[in-house]
Amino acid sequence: MTNPSYDYDLVVIGAGSGGVRAARMAATKGARVAIIESRYLGGTCVNVGCVPKKLFVYASEFSQAFKDSAGFGYTVDKKPDFEWARLRDNKTNEIKRLNGVYDGLLSRAGVDIIHGHGRFIDDHRVAVDNREISAAHVLIATGSWPVMPDVEGAEHIISSNEVFYLETFPKDVIVIGGGYIAVEFAGIFNGLGAKTHLLYRGEPVLRGFDDDIREFVSSELEQAGIQLLYNRDIAKVEALESGRFRVTMSDGSARETDLVVSAIGRRPLLDGLDIDKAGVEAAPKGHLEVNDHYQTNVPHIFALGDVIGRVQLTPVALAEGMYVADYLFGESTPRPVDYDLIPTAVFCQPPIGTVGMTEAQAAKRYERVEVYQANFKAMKNTLSGNPERTLMKLLVDCDSRKVIGAHMVGESAGEIIQGLAVAMTAGATKDDFDHTIGIHPTAAEEFVTMRSPARIIGKDREDD
């Protein structure tokens, strides 16, 4: 397994979720492993992504919870005070704790942690500052980085990274983008009390999600108080003497705001890596192409996670990292990562949970598909007066009876869809769902009590 010709059997560049998993698992299998990180252990997810974002989402939900409590008999004498600095700093302390957890996980597994910027010297050697190390295999797990608008005054725009460390909380904010990051941050700002505008070049939000989900969420965002500025883009940002900013949009309209946040996407992060010196080729869109074993065009150089441009989700990177460790140092051929049934959530208000196909995708692949759908006000909102509604949707292949898509917008959507993902991965049919006894009263029981399809779709078939 080990090769004495090199300093390490595996060098991982990037200590994000996928890189850490690959390094740790490889080390537990007896490999000599080093991991190189120039910023922070845990990568985007732990430091400026999923974890701090979810903490902010929790904070943003309290404002509605305070309002809802009145219908259940609580009296709130005054408007609750929100202190941004306390939330920000408590979050930062939690992230520092998690950095330590990652350090401990790697160290206890026997992985050498090297802090600094790694770059290739050739296909087997990597330089970190003034140090040079060699490896039989190298894994590129450098992740992605926010894309920023190329407009006049772009220096006045911040990315989602900087939101987590704002000195002061804005009274008014414009979030640019319509993907899940933009929608989530719009919900955070709105819930914490900022007048929030979501500027999106298309309509509705969340391109790539099921169309019913997109329309429903867009309506719920507006109902919650977020102003949706559709079919326009940002054109210019000017700093004003007042400390605010004047934002001009592509349609010529303009408005003032305290903060402009870009959430228009992320690009593979290969800056300063010198992959050309290793003979590694990037695809025209900037990501690294890999085969089924996550090998680049240089067979002993691997890549995974956001940098390969497939699915930018932490659990996917973890699965890919496990595969690489098993492929290189395991005793048997590892099970491939299944990209067809990836459950995911969008932590907006209300949140989204989804797994499997959208209705449009199912209609293109299957001859006949049953669409089951439920739209209702959750019990919790009956006494509170909260107008928020819940949407649930199942897609069923008529021939096999398998459930091929499950989508939900509503409280605990991510938690509920995670359980359905297990069932769908196991091949559950609609009959299995129908034979399952529901838990009453819950919203989740709706998934096992929907009996009549709303419509039947499929190839060349009009909706029934």
Give the residue from 328, 326, 319, 283 showing the smallest Cα distance to 301: 328
Q: What are phi and psi of 400, to 5 degrees?
A: -90, -15
115 catalytic residue (yes or no)? no
In sequence order, what E strands does 304-450 have? 344-346, 352-356, 369-376, 390-397, 403-409
Cross-strand partners of 137 = 10
Residues 6+ apart with CB under 8 A from 237: 151, 152, 153, 154, 156, 157, 245, 246, 247, 248, 260
| Tokens at 88, concatenated | 């920000």
DSSP state of 5: T
Q: Return d(Cα 161, Cα 165) in angstroms, integer.
A: 8
Evaluate the omega torsion of the peptide bond into residue 441 and state whether it is cis, within 30 degrees of 0. Answer: yes
Cross-strand partners of 391 = 375, 409
Q: Return d(Cα 69, Cα 18) in angstroms, integer.
A: 41
Contact 41, 19 (CB under 8 A): no
CB atoms < 10 A from the CB of 431, how many? 12
Catalytic residue among 117, 124, 137, 440, which? 440
Pairing of strands 195-199, 172-176: parallel
Give the residue from 54, 380, 91, 51 showing the smallest Cα distance to 191: 54
Q: How far apart are the first and last CA of the chain?
A: 60
Cross-strand partners of 392 = 374, 408
**Residue recorded with tokens 């499950």:** 406
Residues 6+ apart with CB under 8 A from 363: 369, 457, 458, 459, 461
Give the residue from 338, 322, 173, 336 showing the smallest Cα distance to 261: 173
The residues assigned a catalytic role are 440
